[in-house]
Chain A
């Protein structure tokens, strides 16, 4: 049983102060400091950090990565499933179902397979490729919602609730504001909205990412930039999608007596919603719930599981009691935060 925080020598990677490092291939996966070669699971700020010399990601990750890392970054990409050999290590990207372009990175050397899953979910999502099971010996899993209180409801029910809420507000001439992470969650929310109800506006941080989605031919309803703080429109039937960090900004004032909601897995717990001073919570997560985590881990047939960001301790303890060799891995990934930090510096952009 491995309880140490660092993988044993037999693994294909080690944990360094810059991140997960594959010595045989001489590359890093989602490093949190600048490195010569970085393989990126997905373009959220806590996984794709600025400052590396070369980046490699999935094709569909590229448009967002480019927007976030700047035009000068050297970003190459691979289609899902295609293998590239780096210094004798086979590398391929497989859909993780988390957000557009999100990947599990499979690395293989001498018959040993390790999969680093970044963030993932098993539920279907119209805005990205769905999770693919990749068999491996070692699986690196997140644990953002790694407690058995998290069981996601059917996503269509959540969208129906969302549209009903919007319609009721519109009938009362009240704008609806849904707070959702700007990259991923916001677009998933958009994909579930019924544009017949009223116009849809987005905060600048969201609208910027929408463009990248449309570039990848992801079908989103028509949206419009909600403008700066002093832009005024008729908001009475509007749906406004804004990142959580906007919740306490002055930008919101222009919407007047708006109804507020938050779309997140955290909304499972009533107290989370109340602490945020939000009227409605829609339980919609881009991470795996408890059954999802266990299911994914089981299907990989992995013997060894390393657990990163989230309820690490609980999940590791559970796995070790259920026949796995599991250990915590102290990474600097943040996943979905339960306050308005997002691990995603882009979203701190204020519009006032």
Chain B
């Protein structure tokens, strides 16, 4: 337990990811397997079912600290975290050393709470609190209440384990899938040497496109190019190898458990198949806005309701491995036709071919592209038919021919300092639009200005601060910026009632006065009324 408290302190004392990783790596190397298993369990965000009612925790700690309830509540209100409030009101305690392992603490002082009657809980908790110093008391409370909020995630735990035991993060990711108990056996299996799993689970590096800024005619004859929609979802690779399957995001996050309805369709693929594509929210034959898909991504557990509300599809657009053979060097056209054959077998499948978009010449294709917004896609992708599947962001073979972004003129109203290198510069801005006589915030944006402009805006902010709220300053409504964004969607979480996607600063409109900025109504009017259905004909391409 002492070791774990020390880890917790190291995690809390830094905001730097690299230091958090080092702290976890050290812990995973030093801790005995049973403790390390528990640490993996809690640090990766898994939670025990509620062991004690929070009201009881408050009452019993106030009682032990000899504080009236009103004063405890006053403290809780100031601290804002129950585990921490309890740790603080009980004072620093005599000593910070804690006896017993993390596992012993779980087995003797945490898990038993769940099956105890109130009186037993009270005695156990008050005894533990009295023995512990303020920091270990805080950690103990966090283990009981769950929700550590210490700036680590499953991803960083995986990274730390991979550093500690020299394993591919992908292998650890895969081993951590599904339900498991935090046992020493589990931990030993988690860090066991690679038994060919890397080969099985390794995705290919993704091929990425450049934006096409020149007229498409510069690409030469349309005959050399394959066009398809540029989807706005989660880029992913399906691996179907051996008895296993993997759905990897571009950030190499394993997505299998986020989209369980794909399982059967992926397993139906022939063994030794790797497909590149995009996961999309999809309902009644059309794409759902990205925000809907995001709701699913943000859920830890995917329940039946969200699966019903946001059904998904995997839109396949490339074939990288076929019959266990890496075919990335084959021309796109060949890979594509092989992909079509694989996917043609099952019409009910949630794996769907990305339809080809047809035009007789560039003008006709441009005409098709102009429908993008109605189809809820971002424009067109142009892929050279003769090109292999390349690694990384390539020039000349894949182009994204996006539609022009939406633009709007908005007023800067809040600013916050950046992080790291930009910690002493105000670089994070909140923008607002007019509604009547008030400015309603609707978007935050970080980039798009030159360093010189950032400095000038920074100076303006410092000289025109109206109020400070912690790190945030409200500033005089004076500067107008043209913002670009990709999409717009209704949102109940934003004061403005809408959420815009990928907002960024296009330029500083020094020629405009704040009263010249756009109205919120103007933004609302941009929202596509109804997203068109992509017809079956198009699906068949």
Contact = CB atoms under 8 A, between A and B. Distances in A.
Given A151-B92, A248-B417, A271 B75 contact: no
Greatest chain B CB density within 10 A among A247, A250, A270, A317 is at A270
A345 interface: no
A147 interface: yes
Contact of A271 (B13, B80, B462): B80
Interface stretch (A28-36, A130-138, A274-282, A301-309): A274-282
B67 A279 contact: no
Interface string A267-299: 011110001110110000000000100000000
B417 A269 contact: no
A149 B92 CA distance: 10
A8 interface: no
Contacts of B16: 279
Contacts, number: 75
Given A151-B88, A270-B12, A279-B13, A317 B80 contact: no
Greatest chain A CB density within 10 A among B75, B81, B417, B425 is at B75
A151 B91 contact: yes
Interface string B76-107: 00111100110011011000000000000000
B65 A271 contact: no
Nearest to A315: B71
Interface string B451-468: 000000010001000001
Given A151-B91, A276-B470, A270 B84 contact: yes
B194 to A, nearest CB: 33
A252 interface: yes
B490 interface: no
A314 interface: yes
A321 interface: yes
Interface string A148-182: 11110100000000000000000000000000000
Contact of B419 (A271, A277, A280): A277
Contacts of B420: 257
B15 interface: yes
A149 B80 CA distance: 12
Contacts of B68: 321
A149 B79 contact: yes
Give chain B's interface residue range (CB within 8 Å of chain A). 35 or more
Nearest to B75: A149
A321 to B, nearest CB: 7
Give chain A's interface residue range (CB within 8 Å of chain B). 20 to 34
B57 to A, nearest CB: 15
Contacts of B470: 275-276, 339
A148 B81 contact: no
Given A270-B84, A271-B80, A148 B75 contact: yes
B55 interface: no
B70 interface: yes
Contacts of B13: 279-280
Contact of B84 (A269, A280, A321, A340): A269
A279 B12 CA distance: 9
Contacts of A275: 470-471
Greatest chain A CB density within 10 A among B68, B91, B458 is at B91
B81 A248 contact: no
A14 to B, nearest CB: 30
Nearest to A338: B470
A253 interface: yes
A214 B91 CA distance: 36
Nearest to A314: B74
B317 to A, nearest CB: 42
Given A149-B78, A275-B471, A339-B468, A253 B84 contact: no
Contact of B88 (A149, A252, A339): A149
Contacts of A250: 424-425, 458
Interface in A228-246: none
B536 interface: no
A271 B81 contact: yes
Contact of A248 (B74, B134, B424): B424
B424 A253 contact: yes
Contacts of A318: 71
Interface in B515-540: none
Given A253-B424, A339-B470, A271 B79 contact: yes
B81 A153 contact: no
Interface in B324-379: none
A249 interface: yes
B423 A277 contact: yes
6 shortest interchain CB distances as A-B pairs? A149-B88, A275-B470, A151-B91, A252-B424, A149-B75, A148-B89
27 contacts: A148-B71, A148-B88, A148-B89, A149-B85, A151-B88, A151-B92, A151-B134, A153-B92, A247-B424, A248-B424, A253-B424, A268-B88, A269-B78, A269-B79, A269-B84, A269-B88, A270-B12, A270-B81, A275-B471, A276-B471, A277-B471, A280-B13, A291-B91, A311-B74, A314-B74, A318-B71, A321-B68
